[in-house]
Every structure is written in structure tokens, then in C-alpha cells.
Amino acid sequence: MHGEYKMPGGKLVVIDLEIHAGRLQQVQLSGDFFLEPDSALHTINAALEGQPATANEAALANAIQASLAADVLMYGISPEAIAVAVRRALHEGADA
Amino acid sequence: MSRSAWSDHSWQLIHTAPQSPALHMALDEVLTDEVAAGHRMPTLRVWEWAAPAIVIGRFQSLRNEVDSVAARRHGIEVVRRISGGGAMFIEPGNTITYSIYAPLSLVEDLSFQEAYALMDAWVIEALADLGIKAWYQPLNDIASEAGKIAGAAQARRGNAVLHHVTMAYDIDAAKMLEVLRIGREKLSDKGTASAAKRVDPLRSQTGLPREAVIARMIETFRSRHGLHLDLIRSNEMEQAEALVKRKFAHQAWTAEVP
């Protein structure tokens, strides 16, 4: 499943994922945003992996925020924007 | 650490023979790290391209961004760079690309927006000298009244910051749309690419050959910040060639975000 969200004043945030047994699997964040250090991409993917498919935006954003070290820098992307892209991917799946 | 000024540094210029796309990616990593380590003075590098390329951003999905079949048909190499941002379509002579390898102190305590604006202020002045009214458009574009001129990206590595920019001199928009999967919402960012056959803000607005535009840009940098002619050192080139073999030529890196 695939969800995209152009963060207002930011960049394009894209999520691809699968659902197995009601949980997010094979979560892949991508887009034309800026993230330092670049290893934070994997940290965010890992934080979303296994989250319940019923999790709301706030819960997803909190899970992402909690996983990130204090020195991670985001430009054109935010935990909240990623959460919107996840919900859009899940919504697309529900419509399909 | 307190913030340094451009004039605190002795700026070097590298503008050498055309390089392959993967070698350009590797040179950006090596030269940034050399500045970070204090082995190289801060440097402006103007790129020349030996072959057409699609350069995708560090965090972009390869299959979402690139039509690999079309790219192969056109003989276009696909590479992933170390900085974030969006995909670029390059053909030799169609873009102007440069990198600045600066000590992190130059952008110390600045916001991302301030850091981008600072690193491209000299280009805005150069464009004004060439008769183009251009401005930095957050988050990472240089824009003019005729549309987007350039896209910038920064990456911080250790004690250095890489700032690199690709400017549209005369891009074949039809071919670009064949090889890049540009969503409808992104098209507005790419000027009038959907309708125009070519995206040529620099060529059409200056009426100058690409080489003349580059020469004027270099002169503007030199007059603002000083600039000494330099070369890629043999140990830097060896590191970059090794990095091509180990990383940038491999699908493991290019498809790292599949």
C-alpha cells in the first residue's frame, strides 16, 4: 500500500507498507525531504514496523518522535507528516 | 564553536575534465570529508558531465522516481547522491552543477533556511549581473520570474557541510518526463515542464553560452569571497574511484530505498 503527503511548506513524504495480522510490515519511508543523519531513515522505518493498523496519527507521530535521537535534524518533513502519509497508505488499502 | 565568515577561509576552485555520474557522487563524499578532516581548504567545485544521468536524492524511492526501462533505452545512468532532495535529469551541457564544501562553522547556529540562503547568495548576485532577477525560494530552490532555475541540497558530514546545486540551462523536458515519474502535484515545482519542450531559464534569459554563464558565476564568487585555482589531488581521486567501486556503482546503494 502506498500513501503520499506533501507537507505544507515542506517536501513530499511517501510511505509504502504492507499489513499482516493487523500490523504494519515492510514499512518504507521515502521522499525528497532532508534528514540528518541519514541513518534516521531506518530508525523511522523500524519505529513504524509492527504498529497496529488501527493506530491514529497522534500515536504514529509519537512512536516516530520517541525513536529519534535528540540530534536528528528534519527539513521539509516531520513525525506528524510521516503519520499522515501512513494513514493515507492505510486508507488507500481500505478503499482497494 | 562560533560562526565563521566567508572571508575567514581561503576558497579553492576545482573545475576540471568531465567525470562520470558515479564519480561525481563519490567526489562529493570524499571532498566533503576531506574538508571536515581539515585536509582540504573550503572548495567550490564546478561539475562537467561525461554522460547523461538521473541523480536521485538520498531518501527517494528508486522505482517511484525513475522509469528504469526508459532510462536504459536512452542510455542514462541512474545514481543516488548522499544528500536529500529531489531527482534531477542531466545531459552534458544542459545543466550547470556545482558543489560547495564548507566548514560547518560557516553555517553554525543558522536555521536550514538561513544556511541555504547564505550558500547561494553569490549565485543570486551572479544571476543579477547576468540580468536575471532571481531569489532563494524556501525550502531549497532558486527561482526567477520565468520559473524555477535551480534546486539545492545540503548534507552535513562531521565538521563540514556539502551544498550542491543543479541549475537548468537548457533541459529536454519531454525526455525528462519520459524517464522521471513526476507526479502531477510536483509538476508545478518544475516550471512549465508539462507544456514546454525545453526548460531553459538560463539560456533564454541570458542569451549566453553555458560556458559564459559559468565564467561569470566563478568571477562573482571570486570577487565576493576570493578563489584560488586548485585540482583534485591524486589521493582524493583514488579514494573517489574506490568509493565508486564499493558504493556508488552498486545497486545495493542505488536501490537502497527501492
Alpha-carbon distance of B50 to B30, in angstroms, equals 19
Closest residue on chain A to B153 (Cα): A34
Question: Closest approach of chain B CAs to the CA of A76, in angstroms?
Answer: 7
Average pLDDT over residues A46-66: 98
Cα separation values, A4 from A17, A31, A60, A96, B120, Å: 12, 9, 16, 16, 30
**What pLDDT sits at residue B4?**
96
Question: So what's the pLDDT on residue B192?
Answer: 45
Per cent of chain A over pLDDT 90 is 94
Kindly determine whether residue A28 and residue B85, on different chains, have CB atoms separated by under 8 Å: no
Which chain A residues are Cβ-neighbours of B156 within 8 angstroms? 36, 73
Contact, B126 vs B3, CB < 8 A?
A: no
Domain extent for A87? 2-95
CATH superfamily entry for domain B6-251: Bira Bifunctional Protein; Domain 2 (3.30.930.10)
Q: Nearest Cβ partner of B85 from A9, A14, A34? A: A34
The string of pLDDT tens digits covering residues B133-145 is: 999 999 999 999 8
- Between the two ends of chain B, the Cα-to-Cα distance in Å is 39
Domain count, chain A: 1
The pLDDT-based confidence of A93 (bands split at 50, 70, 90) is low
3 state DSSP class of B136: strand
CATH of the domain at A30: 3.30.390.50
CB crowding B30-45: b at 16 or more within 10 Å, else e: bbbbbbbeeebebbbb
pLDDT (tens place) for every residue of chain B, 258 residues total: 689 999 999 999 999 999 999 999 999 999 999 999 999 999 999 999 999 999 999 999 999 999 999 999 999 999 999 999 999 999 999 999 999 999 999 999 999 999 999 999 999 999 999 999 999 999 999 999 888 999 999 999 999 999 999 999 999 988 999 999 976 445 545 444 445 678 898 999 999 999 999 999 999 999 999 999 999 999 999 999 999 999 999 999 999 999
The chain A residues in contact with chain B (CB within 8 A) are 4, 6, 9-12, 14, 16, 28-36, 38, 41, 73, 75-76
Partner residue facing A35 (CB), from B84, B86, B140: B84
pLDDT digits (tens, 9 = 90+) for B190-242: 444 445 678 898 999 999 999 999 999 999 999 999 999 999 999 999 999 99
> In this predicted structure, what is the pLDDT of residue B66?
96
